Chains A and B, each alone.
Chain A
Amino acid sequence: QQQVKQSPQSLIVQKGGISIINCAYENTAFDYFPWYQQFPGKGPALLIAIRPDVSEKKEGRFTISFNKSAKQFSLHIMDSQPGDSATYFCALSYSGAGSYQLTFGKGTKLSVIP
């Protein structure tokens, strides 16, 4: 099974600061590298995703940086806000043999303090 390692496990950032979460993976046969956001009591929701042929993708305050040779990708949250406080999961998206599945990291609990 594909493995993805996510760090840090938890992160405390002041309002207006930059939150950075990193993920590293072991294999290369993936379709997308998505990031999911999960609030307590809710299911995960897609935040932003990048294809393996792109090195960076920005959507508003959220940016994914992808380093294919290093097998690493990261999420940057600019101007972090208290409403960004949630658990963030990186994932590997795989389509093969007629199926589709995500392999998730263990998550990063982000707390943005005023």
Chain B
Amino acid sequence: DAGVTQSPTHLIKTRGQQVTLRCSPISGHKSVSWYQQVLGQGPQFIFQYYEKEERGRGNFPDRFSARQFPNYSSELNVNALLLGDSALYLCASTPGPQGANTGELFFGEGSRLTVL
């Protein structure tokens, strides 16, 4: 079975540009979350979506936005890119709005964004 898939895997942007990252959850999973992982740090929560509605938002500026589609896939958009936005962006899915029985999030391999 396919896990969480993300695209693109790598991309390079310049300051001020905009980027869109895409995520397809595990089949049957209805909740998608986004995390930012700066090099050498743990992932940091950005958003959670369930049934196309935003369920949670982390401490990120309004330049970050996301949405979830009827097929439960999701996009993360970042506007007006800054050098500090360079990171690995991870998408994770769960069957419902809460964690799986063990509290598990199922992560994809991420999209590595470099801002020059």
Contacts and interface: CB of A to CB of B under 8 A. Distances in A.
Contacts of A106: 40-42
B42 A34 contact: no
B28 interface: no
Interface stretch (A12-20, A37-45, A71-79): A37-45
Interface residues of A, number: 27
Determine the main DSSP class of B at the interface with A: loop
B103 A93 contact: yes
A105 to B, nearest CB: 5
Interface string B20-60: 00000000000101010000111111001010000110110
B60 to A, nearest CB: 12
Interface in A36-95: 41-46, 49, 89, 91, 93, 95
A46 B90 CA distance: 14
Given A101-B58, A103-B45, A46 B97 contact: no
B107 interface: yes
Determine the main DSSP class of A at the interface with B: strand
B107 A45 contact: yes
A49 B102 contact: yes
B43 A104 contact: yes
B41 to A, nearest CB: 6
Contacts of B58: 1, 101
**3 nearest interchain CB pairs?**
A99-B56, A104-B42, A32-B103
Contact of B102 (A43, A46, A97, A101): A46
Interface in B66-112: 90, 92, 94, 97-99, 102-105, 107-110
Contact of B99 (A32, A45, A107): A32
A99 B99 CA distance: 9
Contact of A34 (B43, B48, B104, B108): B104
Contacts of B48: 99-101
